[in-house]
Amino acid sequence: MHESDASHEPAIAAALKRAHELVFAGKLGEAAKIGEDLVNQLPANPHAWYLLSNVHSRARRWQTALECAGRAVWLSPDDPTFLIQHGQCLVAAGRRLEALALADRLVAAQLDRADWNDALGTMLTYCEEPARGRPFFERAVELAPKNSSYLYNLATAQRMTGNLFGAELSLDRVIAAQPGNIRAYYTRADLRTQTAEANHINEMVRVLGNGFRNPQDEITLCFAIAKELEDVSRYGMSFQYLKRGCDLQRRQITYDVTDDIATIDRLIQLHNHAALDSGGGFETEECIFVLGLPRSGTTLVERIVSSHSTVHAAGELQAFPTEAIRAVQRRTGRAVGKLDFVELALEVDPTALGHAYIGATRPQTGRKPRFVDKMPLNYLYAGLIHRALPRAPIVALAREPMDSCYAMYKTLFAGAYPFSYDLCDLGRYYAAWHRLMRHWRSLLGKSLLIVQYEDLVANQEAVSRRILEHCGLPWEDACLAFHEQKTAVTTASAVQVRRPIYSSSLGSWRHYEQELAPLAAVLSQAEPPAGWCLANREGAQTARQAPRRAAPPRAR
């Protein structure tokens, strides 16, 4: 009997089954021992390699997981289970080009199992293609209509592709069948502005009162309740739930904001004129970078620019950070820490890095002359971007500090921005980010346009024209109707950018002046308020010319 058929032997099948149960229970060490014994005994058994890949994936050891999954696929190249595991590992490793090629193979296979369809839809969504993924979520629900997980995934795809009404109906079904699905409450709360007549506050408060074994469920539900309470102007109560969620989230993570601040200061020190003007780089204007702190208007600007007939919205690409990190690791032969990376990245060949970045964005880019990369965290890589792609225009968003920090504070991010759950951490990080942006402004010259979010809201057409001019694009009226775009949005702003520009979020922090006093204190110590504006405002009207609205009375 061939080794690959050994999984059908009772003893081998029992060992595999036991190992997968251990993985599900979180006992990864025990599961890994079984997997290693199996691959040593039966190195041509793809099921054993698949098991090991699962173990390493759960432990977030992506490179090892990828190698094991690749071995399983090599041994059994047509098995959808192994192909999907390989694709998921490729996505996690930032190798989107290869993941999409593998997804195309799965699409052609016409999958007939619900779990395979759901997994393929998830893979495409993580590759910034939720519109392609949505039919597979629909197929999964069709094949397994009682599976709430598949229905929830369909709802997220409906949200990303603009079917907000359908998403709410799907989430209502999820909650009716599975009242403990806390993610469904959170996603549903964000689909629309709740009203006094139509909201889910009492329902969620009752669920919260039942208690949770998993702190993440309590955190998620607190954020959802806070959001709906703010919608109905119950500001004091909203902040109580928000702070409860943020405090609990902060206790779940090991994080010291001084480490990130040290990295930013190291960037300011080393990524100077001499380092960035060293010559070389890939001479292309194809890519347009939009960056800035989260919730500062980056998705809005991406939608404005990508409404142009010659521009493709590529979403939040991991391509530049991934290729820069890979280049450093190839040069050093090892993984490096953040502070060392800042220095070692300047030794990378900028031309090779520019070419590697463009190659990593394919095949999603290249179908139109230009594309937008809207990865907010690229503000850490702006100097390297300019060095590797000297003709690439960069648009950075800035927002009034208190509004910016409050917008981040009330957002539950998925594994990112750990500074956002503590007001003092937020203030310190914002001040460091502001120093970094002033540094880039002094270094990058005409390559960098800094747009103040408030200016864009107050003077949409004038600022939009300036953004397109900076990107070397002729004006098109469609850029004013960005909210009519049918393309998918995968960010936290997926709902907001379906609406025309609105000003209701400006100054929203003033509902919480007392509660946000610790943040205001940190910011006031960092820099005088008059020095916070970063925008290049020459030739454009400013938000100061817009009438100032008085803050509405507080409701408790």
Per-residue pLDDT tens over the stretch 531-546: 788 887 654 444 333 3
> Edge-to-edge, what's the strand order for the sheet holding 370-373?
311-313, 370-373, 287-292, 394-398, 448-452
Per the CB < 8 A criterion, the answer to whether 228 and 185 are in contact is: no
Per-residue tokens: 145 = 């209509």
CA atoms within 13 A on the CB side of 529: 5
Quick one: pLDDT at residue 4? 45
Per-residue tokens: 448 = 């960098």
Per the CB < 8 A criterion, the answer to whether 19 and 51 are in contact is: yes
The identity of residue 5, as a single letter, is D
Per the CB < 8 A criterion, the answer to whether 450 and 535 are in contact is: yes
- How far, in whole angstroms, is CA 354 from its chain's centroid? 23
Span 117-174, pLDDT tens digits: 999 999 999 888 888 999 999 999 999 999 999 999 999 999 988 888 999 999 999 9
Per-residue tokens: 194 = 């709740």
- Secondary element (H or E) of residue 450: strand 448-452
Span 452-496, pLDDT tens digits: 999 999 999 999 999 999 999 999 999 998 766 656 555 555 555
Quick one: pLDDT at residue 39? 84
- Secondary element (H or E) of residue 395: strand 394-398
Q: How far apart are CA 133 and CA 130, in angstroms?
A: 5
Q: How far apart are CA 356 and CA 496, in angstroms?
A: 33
Return the DSSP state at 410.
T
CA atoms within 13 A on the CB side of 67: 4
What's the mean pLDDT when you consider all of the chain?
A: 88
- Helix residue ranges, H only, 44-181: 46-58, 62-75, 80-92, 96-108, 114-126, 130-143, 148-160, 164-177
Phi, psi for residue 398 in degrees, rounded to 5 = -125, 150
pLDDT means per 10 residues, the chain with 556 residues, are 51 82 82 85 90 88 91 93 93 85 90 95 89 94 94 93 91 94 95 94 96 93 97 97 98 96 97 88 96 93 94 92 95 92 96 96 87 96 97 96 96 92 97 96 95 93 96 94 63 52 76 96 78 68 36 33
pTM: predicted TM-score of the whole model, two decimal places: 0.84
First to last CA, the chain: 74
In DSSP terms, which residues pair with 394 in a beta bridge? 289, 448
- Secondary element (H or E) of residue 204: helix 201-209
Q: Say which residue the tokens 């919480």 belong to.
A: 512
Q: Which residues are CB-neighbours of 75 under 8 A, at least 6 positions away? A: 4, 44, 45, 46, 49
Q: How far apart are CA 104 and CA 197, in angstroms?
A: 46
What are the structural domains, with CATH classification, of the chain? 3-201 (1.25.40.10), 258-543 (3.40.50.300)
- Helix residue ranges, H only, 293-417: 298-306, 319-332, 338-344, 350-360, 382-388, 401-409
Burial environment of residue 334 by CB neighbours within 10 A (0 to 12, 13 to 18, 19 or more): exposed
